[in-house]
Copies of this chain bind each other. A is one copy, B any other.
């Protein structure tokens, strides 16, 4: 296929993103903001100029996706039916796409421009990782034909893994229709790909640059950091007296940096956000629309979602804070263990090691009282009230009122 020829893209956005609770309580995973916009927006930007139509296969919290993208001419929405699985998601697009088409998982941040990839008929994008045992491992022959797929193998045969981006000819639909749903009642795309592999009809194409399959909260912060590393300074908002800005910082029109604040980029401060006076924004921070970080507060390496207020004397580090939260004065996050070991986080009931510095993962509409402390790696569900002086060292379920 030649670039420029008619082609469509199908992006899989139907999943629940349970490992990312509580961030996915009120939005599907692809709508989590990274570097100032939803993960899905980053994916769309990558393919928008390569395709004619973009079909977003939606289901869980579909209204959030539709509301955000409804006025974009190339974008159409397809709702996945009862049957689950990535294969079924692709099948949803059967009656819409024509000829070759791209399929992308809706939760990946990648740097490659897909150019090499588009030259193939059937192809799977690959990326090299240090821990292939947690992914779908791919084995290639010398002509880059995929000859084997290993799903989370104990003994991986390579460190190349399935990067969640595919190119298919439309015959894939017939193959998918022939596949029996799994025990879990799902039709998996990889089962169809295995049919292509039998005939050596699908290439494995290694992506260049950064790639991250957003599965756990710290993946979001890692992708955020990567993308912020690429921004260039653009200051369109209001910057008051004695504000000092260092590094690459985007301050959107309608944002205000109040007097005597200090900002160290890379950082993005969105429309309607107010910083300061006397606040300190540190690298790898994104303040979404209408957020407020006030007097003597410090935010570092964190994503603060829209309408959230951190008015005074607070510290938020290496954290993800949902929308419409309000932090009482002197709300402090810890982000480091005394023993410097990876911070432990509960992911779907299991306590697993994350990264050396991780703060709090908070849902939407949380209010904290004054002098509240969060221990590293705790998760706080949506709609919680955390009473004054509480020390939160365990996860807090959504809709909980914690008090002393």
Residues of A within 8 A of B (CB): 240-242, 244, 246, 258-262, 277-278, 280, 295-296, 298, 312-313, 315, 328-330, 332-334, 338, 367, 369-371, 373, 375, 385, 388-389, 391, 393, 401, 404
Contact = CB atoms under 8 A, between A and B. Distances in A.
A244 B260 contact: yes
A373 B385 contact: no
A388 B388 contact: no
A104 to B, nearest CB: 40
Given A296-B295, A370-B334, A329 B315 contact: yes
7 contacts: A242-B242, A244-B277, A278-B280, A295-B298, A313-B313, A328-B334, A334-B388
A373 B371 contact: yes
Contacts of A404: 391
A333 B369 CA distance: 10
Contact of A242 (B244, B369, B391): B244
A259 B278 contact: no
Most buried by B among A241, A329, A371: A329
A388 B371 contact: no
A280 to B, nearest CB: 5
Given A313-B313, A332-B329, A388 B370 contact: no
B298 A332 contact: no
Given A296-B313, A373-B370, A244 B259 contact: yes
Nearest to A391: B389
A262 B404 CA distance: 35
A241 B243 CA distance: 9
Contacts of A241: 242, 244
A255 to B, nearest CB: 18
Contacts of A298: 295-296, 312-313
Contacts of A401: 338
A315 B295 CA distance: 10
Contacts of A260: 242, 244, 260-262, 278
